[in-house]
Amino acid sequence: MSQIVKGMGALHRLNLIHRDLKPDNILIQFEKAESGIDKTFKSNFEIATGNVTCKIADLGFTRELKEDELASTFLGTPQYSAPEILTKQTYQNNVDVWSLGCIYYEMLVGVLPFSASSKKLFIKNVLDGDFILPHTIEVSVDAAKFLTSCLTSGPK
């Protein structure tokens, strides 16, 4: 997660917003394992020794956005889109922070923080902002604060 945050920070320092951050757009490279690993297992999986590199990919929706400028294009993947995009309001780079929160939640829990049976109900759930970490998921206070700050990063 820290590498994804650093990558997003680098984009934002260049006045770029990604607008489609999601797990599909995060590339993960594992350092290959040393010999001695079961060959059957090794042939089916990329074995990691602990060194992982994450990179943000698919910059097709990326846009330069000056500090006082606002974007208004409705694009991206709705499940990871910030409330401003879903409600077709103007927005800034904080929409990437929201997406980061959705990714982090999904990494922790295995599902997205917001879901619904219809588009209208989904947007309502996002606007309400009520996500719950299951009691079976243990996170540090800092991790919970980080998640909350990401998923409350913009106007609603």
CB 53 within 8 A of CB 26: no
* Residue 151 and residue 97 in contact, taking contact as beta carbons nearer than 8 Å: no
Lowest-confidence segment of 17-21, 22-26, 27-31 by average pLDDT: 27-31
> Tens of pLDDT along 106-117?
999 999 999 999
Is residue 100 within 8 A of residue 9, CB to CB? The reply is no
pLDDT at 37: 52
Domain ranges of the chain: 2-150
SS3 label, residue 28: strand
In the annotation, is 130 catalytic? no
Q: Name the architecture of domain 2-150.
A: Orthogonal Bundle (1.10)
Q: Within 10 A of 97 (CB to CB), how many other CB atoms are there?
A: 20
pTM of the full structure: 0.84
Residue-wise pLDDT for 133-142, tens only, equals: 999 999 999 9
- Residue ranges in the chain assigned as alpha helix (H): 2-13, 39-44, 83-86, 94-109, 119-128, 141-150
Among residues 20, 58, 68, 142, the one annotated as catalytic is 20
pLDDT reported for residue 34: 56
Higher pLDDT, 46 or 142: 142
